[in-house]
A and B are shown apart, each in its own frame.
Chain A
Amino acid sequence: MTMRSIGLVEANSYGAVVAALDAMLKAANVEMVKYDMVGGVWAAVFIAGDIGAVQAAVEAGLAVAQQLGQARGSVVANPTPEYLELYDL
């Protein structure tokens, strides 16, 4: 069973997150798995796929989101079962 990698882009505005999601879905073969409101304007979107695809996508997503606001991203290459269960991924 291949382990899915999980990537996450979080940004300072909802619009930036949506734009980043669009860029990510177009940049590589990933799928969106979760959208999360963190509170205080921050929002985040999770994507899943192969590690190479997720890394490329998160880079592309960050490039777009950073133009629109403050953004950061995270890639977890081999998430533990607890991590996946945390977000029902």
Chain B
Amino acid sequence: MDSADGLSNVMVSTDGNKLAPAGAGGSLRLRSGGASIGVVESMGLSPAVEALDAMLKAANVEVLRFEKLGLGWVIACIIGDVGSVTAAVEAGRAAAERLAKSGVTTAGVTKAMGGALDIVPVTSCLLASPSPAVLTLLRGAEDEQPAPSGGAIGYVETMGFAAAVQALDAMAKGAAVSFRGYSGTPPKFVLWIQGDVAAVRQALQQGAEVADRIGKALGSCLLARPHLETMENLPAKPTAAPLTSLVGGMPRHIKLLTAG
């Protein structure tokens, strides 16, 4: 690929995960020139693949992240200007839903999981003006956020990655919190944030509200004064590595209790 395409430094691993390249200074170098983000998430590979193709053909957008999150869930994230991304997400979602409804019933999945989960096979979200926290989640961008001023942490758990993305955006915009960590056992995802107690409480409320509109908010928790060891064992912030390296929320280091 020649560099005029903007795709010359593409990180592609052979198992089909893809991440858009970083430009000089950490900002995205985009052909299309926009900064809105759309996400279509599906259970299974074919709906996501069809959705990605439909999105790329529907409008002038670029692939931001295409990844298998684990356990059969796949996301296709695109970036471009807001009109293009809106049109593309509509087209992508329609394509994914068409395929998701054919041949596979979610009843089989919900039974396997004990029948306790409302799994929606396709979810999508659209962020016209995403906050830096969302870019960190989707690209592992360099941390441009100010250091968190408070010591309280909290998490929101959502059913669906698109819901998690939208919730993170609402939380980062709605209160003075910073994005602290991500962990996922698809289709459930957990986002940790940090800030003042009041800010975190407000953010968790807003995040849960927003997540309910897109997927489902499964719960949230506020730790107003976490223990030091709790802080050390929170899941890590996403990097450019595939998000599946954070599946299950294994902390970066594992603390072992040794004798003596």
**Contact A39–B66 (Cβ < 8 Å):** no
Contacts of A39 in B (CB 8 A): 68-73, 186
Which of B10, B50, B68, B69 contacts A85, CB < 8 Å?
Answer: B10
Q: Shortest distance in angstroms between B21's beta carbon and chain A's nearest beta carbon?
A: 12
**Contact A85–B44 (Cβ < 8 Å):** no
Contact with B along A59-88 (1 / 0, CB 8 A): 000100010001111101001101101111
Contacts of A82 in B (CB 8 A): 7, 56, 62-63
**Contact B74–A38 (Cβ < 8 Å):** yes
Q: Shortest distance in angstroms between B131's beta carbon and chain A's nearest beta carbon?
A: 26
Most interface-central of B15, B69, B104 (chain A CB within 10 A): B104
Stretch at the interface among A19-27, A40-48, A49-57: A40-48
Interface residue tally of chain A, by bracket?
20 to 34
**Bound complex: CA A43 to CA B24 (Å):** 38
Which of A12, A73, A87 contacts B16, CB < 8 Å?
Answer: A87
* Chain A residue with the shortest CB-CB distance to B66: A86
Contacts of A37 in B (CB 8 A): 15
| A38-B52 in contact given A72-B104, A86-B12 (Cβ < 8 Å) | no
Contact with A along B48-72 (1 / 0, CB 8 A): 0110110011000011001011111
**Contact A70–B12 (Cβ < 8 Å):** no
| A86-B18 in contact given A8-B49, A70-B105, A72-B103 (Cβ < 8 Å) | yes
* Chain B residue with the shortest CB-CB distance to A43: B45
Which of B14, B71, B104 contacts A40, CB < 8 Å?
Answer: B71
**Bound complex: CA A39 to CA B15 (Å):** 12
* Chain B residue with the shortest CB-CB distance to A66: B103
The yes or no answer to B46 lying at the interface (CB within 8 A) is yes
9 contacts between A and B (CB under 8 A): A38-B44, A39-B71, A39-B186, A40-B72, A40-B186, A62-B103, A70-B104, A70-B108, A83-B56
6 closest Cβ pairs, A-B complex: A40-B72, A40-B71, A72-B103, A74-B46, A38-B45, A42-B72
